[in-house]
Amino acid sequence: MIKKSLTDLEPARLEGRTVLVRADLNVPLDDDDVSDDQRIRASLPTLRILCDAGAKVVLLSHLGRPKGRAQPEFSLAPVARRLGDLLEYPVRFVGETHGEAVAHAVADTAMGQVVLLENTRFHPGETENDPELSASWADLGDIFVNDAFGTAHRAHASTAGLAQAMRSRGHEAVAGILMARELRYLEGVLRMPERPFLAIIGGAKISTKIGVISALLPLVDRLLIGGAMANTFFRALGLDTGESLVEEDAIDLARELVEEGGETIVLPVDCVVAPEVHEGAPARIVDRDAVKGVDKIVDIGPRTRSRFADMIGEARVIFWNGPMGVFEMAPFAQGTISVAEAVADACDSGAMGVLGGGDSAAAAQQAGVAHRLTHVSTGGGASLELIAGAELPGVASLSGVENE
């Protein structure tokens, strides 16, 4: 079902309303200050629309894993300060998640202003999806906007629970601007009729990505495999992988995928190997059938890079998740960088290129190409679950456009 989004609501319906917004303000903190404000910036479009329309915003988010109790190092207070600087609308912070202090602060806040509540995960009911906690927030507002795509794959009190509580009161629960954009591109990639459709899957483990691989295999023309995950496929082909990272109990699975996928699955033909996974280790380039002894595969090799780049260059729709090697170490980042550049070049020539996954997004940033991609998802787990065809509770709980 197509979900309603904030842009489906007339600004006149927002004026004078109290709007509950669940954002993903889960940013890294360093010594009580925000060290990377990307997620705060990503939430600004939704907040600006609401403030400009003359709504009062009650903003909720989690930060870190405080395990259901108040812990000062996970306070959203530094986020409120940074948000105020960026938004240029007054942002008030309440050091409570719910209850009387919150109700008073909300009543006290003027239209066009934002009040940020304390970290939702300070309350144990958040991750338990406690209906009473959801109800206490629902009582504060007239409309709910869920913009927290990164937590959409979890049913928590401030996400799915709050949407349900609002809708049971006859109110709207809609997707925010960021959430709607994520859904448009991630669902769009699967529905794009254009071909060739190519997927690139890398990263550490098959086991965390089996859902994505199985869902993509029947849809794509090519599935390029890199990263440590390729090692498990090498073993399925009977190759020696030396001392590389291999998921022994996923070898049979890899064999089944190769049988099912046939020519669709494209594995690396050469690799960068080193005796140790550290920057100074003496690295060599070897064909995939020459890996042996103490070798650890740390990146895809140059022949693989140019093969992958050629295939990426022919594609019209590209989904990429997972680095091609240990990209955190500069000598082993070349494979990931060359894939990132190939995807960016394809996007420059009109292909649709969508990237999901936290480490892959960091790699694209590091390669300096993130801004050239059609879409870089902000939700790691959520984007993979969506691509794998799962229904995300944070999305499923929103109002559908048909209900209008």
313 versus 358: smaller Cβ distance to Mg ion: 358
Which residues partner with 224 through β-bridges? 200, 266
Least Å from the CB of residue 380 to ligand ADP: 5
Site string for Mg ion, 313-352 (x = CB under 5 A): ----------------------------------------
| In contact, 228 and 270? CB cutoff 8 Å | no
Question: Which of Mg ion, ligand ADP, none does 204 bind, CB closer than 5 to 8 A by kind?
Answer: ligand ADP
* Number of residues binding to Mg ion, judged by CB under 5 A: 2
Least Å from the CB of residue 203 to Mg ion: 6
| Residue-by-residue DSSP string for 243-291 | T----GGGHHHHHHHHHHHGGGEE--SEEEEESSSSTTS--EEEEGGG-
Active-site pick, 39, 56, 209, 288: 39
242 versus 357: smaller Cβ distance to ligand ADP: 357
Active-site pick, 84, 211, 380, 381: 381
158 versus 231: smaller Cβ distance to ligand ADP: 231
**Which spans of this chain sit near ligand ADP (rule: CB under 6 A)?**
203-204, 227-228, 245, 297-298, 321-323, 325-326, 328, 357-360, 380
Contacts of 224 (CB under 8 A, 6+ apart): 198, 199, 200, 201, 266, 308, 311, 312
Least Å from the CB of residue 250 to ligand ADP: 13
What beta strand segments (E) does 61-123 contain?
91-94, 114-117
Q: How far is CA 204 from the centre of its chain?
A: 17
Burial label for 371, CB within 10 Å (0-12, 13-18, 19+), is: exposed
| Residue 205 known to be catalytic | yes
- Contacting Mg ion (CB under 5 A), which of 214, 358, 362, 396? 358
| Residue 262 known to be catalytic | no
Least Å from the CB of residue 249 to ligand ADP: 17
46 versus 321: smaller Cβ distance to Mg ion: 321
Least Å from the CB of residue 325 to ligand ADP: 5
Cα–Cα distance between 303 and 250 in angstroms, integer?
26
Q: Helical H runs in 151-268?
A: 162-168, 177-191, 210-216, 229-236, 251-261
Question: Which of ligand ADP, Mg ion, none does 131 bind, CB closer than 5 to 8 A by kind?
Answer: none
Cα–Cα distance between 302 and 112 in angstroms, integer?
55
Active-site pick, 64, 84, 313, 358: 358
Question: How far is CA 101 from each of CA 96, 106, 223, rounded to the nearest angstrom?
Answer: 7, 9, 53
SS3 of the chain: helix, strand, coil, percent, to 5: 45, 15, 40
Q: Which residue from 328, 350, 352, 323 is spatially nearest to 338, judged by alpha carbons?
A: 323
47 versus 324: smaller Cβ distance to ligand ADP: 324
Cα–Cα distance between 12 and 31 in angstroms, integer?
42
Least Å from the CB of residue 116 to ligand ADP: 28
* Binding positions for Mg ion, 215-254, rule CB under 5 A: none
Gyration radius (Cα) of the chain, Å:
23
Active-site pick, 205, 255, 303, 307: 205
148 versus 271: smaller Cβ distance to ligand ADP: 271
- φ, ψ (nearest 5 deg) of residue 146: -100, 115
118 versus 359: smaller Cβ distance to Mg ion: 359
Least Å from the CB of residue 382 to Mg ion: 13
- Interaction between residue 359 and Mg ion (CB under 5 A): yes
Question: Which of ligand ADP, Mg ion, none does 323 bind, CB closer than 5 to 8 A by kind?
Answer: ligand ADP
What are the catalytic residues?
39, 205, 358, 381
In the complex, which residues of this chain contact Mg ion (CB under 5 A)?
A: 358-359
